[in-house]
A and B are shown apart, each in its own frame.
Chain A
Amino acid sequence: MLKLFKFLITGILFGIVMTKSEAISWFRIQEMFRFQSFHMYGIIFTAVAIGLLGVQIIKRFNVRDIGGNPIIFNPKDMSIPRYLIGGTIFGLGWAMTGACPGPMFVNFGYGYGMMVLIIIGALAGTLMYGVLRKRLPH
């Protein structure tokens, strides 16, 4: 239980930062896709900058995780259709609902009960991908 508790705290922090940064707002996502503010780009660029630095430090100094195991980065399999088509479908939904998977749940906690419909849709979409997977170009 205690092992899982730290993920609860990290998740709470994630929900708070997504809300306070307004990244859970449909308005902010529209503003981003219309290139009318630096706000969302600033958030993503800063997070990636921290990540780049951190990943390099981990790799250079062979930093180990809390359990003493090496931190391994698995390279993703290369493909163009998979990431381009999948990404495009994701982008259509992201701009429509203003919510990527994390924010759907953060918004629900915030008090937007109708997010359940988006979550049901997302689960149905995931299920459909699982069923069609072998027939899709990867």
Chain B
Amino acid sequence: MIDFLIKPWPWHFSGLVIGLIMMVLLFFGKSFGFSANLRTICTIAGGDKIADFFKFDWKKQTWNLVFLGGAVLGGFIANQFLSDGSIVAISENTIADLAALGISAPTEIQPTEIFSWDFATSFKGILFLIIGGFLVGFGARYAGGCTSGHAISGLSDLQLPSLIAVVGFFIGGLLMTYLILPLIL
């Protein structure tokens, strides 16, 4: 059991757990959607003085902020106590493609060329990470949800808007992967 848990989890078990998390939240009377937290944080920080979009009763989202806190803690626990030091086993083709972009094969869960303090404190690195985050935050709110709200919750309820959003996720993802990343990495 412990042996199974500290190894990387196979996709079917992971998908099962994520699906069950969504179901449990429904049973708790809530809807799974992580990016709503970004709006809530903007409201708490005073965003309601800048735009009406942030004027809402954020206290109703307290549960989601607690969920966010749990997610941070979960990342910590998984790394500290549930890790066998396995290296992310991505496909050889991906390793070769990324090598051509100057990204070396995995030695940890994230590429050191992007997620190192050297890069994150360089001018290019700061711009890269902030702009990337900006696109995620802006796009998630514009589309009315992120991977959890649209790809998981929305598709589970057969919502056409969510399918359109997921198609958009892939249009953007493919443009970035094949056209933009080769220019900026």
B71 interface neighbour in A18, A83, A133, Cβ under 8 Å: A18
| B169 interface contact, C-beta 8 A | yes
Q: State how many angstroms separate the Cβ of A61 from the closest Cβ of chain B.
A: 13
Chain B residues with Cβ below 8 Å from A32 are 173
Chain A residues with Cβ below 8 Å from B5 are 20
Chain B residues with Cβ below 8 Å from A86 are 139-144, 165, 168
B136 interface neighbour in A15, A52, A79, A101, Cβ under 8 Å: A101
Chain A residues with Cβ below 8 Å from B30 are 7
Query: For the side of the interface on B, what is the size category?
Result: 35 or more
In the complex, what residue of chain B is closest to A109 when comparing beta carbons?
B75
With A86-B142, A90-B143, A96-B181 as given contacts, are A73 and B157 in contact (CB-CB < 8 Å)?
yes
**Docked pose: A111 CA to B74 CA in angstroms:** 11
Chain A positions 83-134 with a Cβ under 8 Å from a chain B Cβ:
83-102, 104-115, 117-131, 133
Q: Which of A11, A25, A55, A71 has the most CB of B within 10 A?
A: A11
Chain A positions 27-86 with a Cβ under 8 Å from a chain B Cβ:
27-34, 36-40, 42-52, 54-55, 58, 63, 65-67, 69, 71, 73, 75-80, 82-86
B71 touches A15 (CB 8 A): yes
Chain A residues with Cβ below 8 Å from B170 are 33, 91
B152 touches A101 (CB 8 A): no
Q: State how many angstroms separate the Cβ of B79 from the closest Cβ of chain A.
A: 5
Q: State how many angstroms separate the Cβ of B70 from the closest Cβ of chain A.
A: 2
B78 touches A49 (CB 8 A): no
**Docked pose: A79 CA to B167 CA in angstroms:** 14
**Docked pose: A32 CA to B69 CA in angstroms:** 27
Q: State how many angstroms separate the Cβ of B123 from the closest Cβ of chain A.
A: 12
Chain B positions 112-150 with a Cβ under 8 Å from a chain A Cβ:
114-117, 119-120, 125-126, 128-144, 146-148, 150
B134 touches A122 (CB 8 A): yes
In the complex, what residue of chain A is closest to B43 when comparing beta carbons?
A130
Chain A residues with Cβ below 8 Å from B114 are 26, 98
In the complex, what residue of chain A is closest to B39 when comparing beta carbons?
A126
With A11-B70, A20-B78, A93-B133 as given contacts, are A43 and B11 in contact (CB-CB < 8 Å)?
yes
Residues of A within 8 A of B (CB): 4, 6-34, 36-40, 42-52, 54-55, 58, 63, 65-67, 69, 71, 73, 75-80, 82-102, 104-115, 117-131, 133, 136
Can you sample 11 A-B contacts with CB below 8 Å?
A: A4-B66, A15-B70, A17-B9, A24-B75, A48-B152, A51-B157, A87-B166, A89-B138, A96-B180, A104-B133, A117-B130
* A28-B88, A50-B19, A84-B171 given; 9 more Cβ-contact pairs under 8 Å: A28-B90, A47-B18, A48-B156, A66-B29, A86-B165, A118-B133, A121-B137, A122-B38, A130-B53
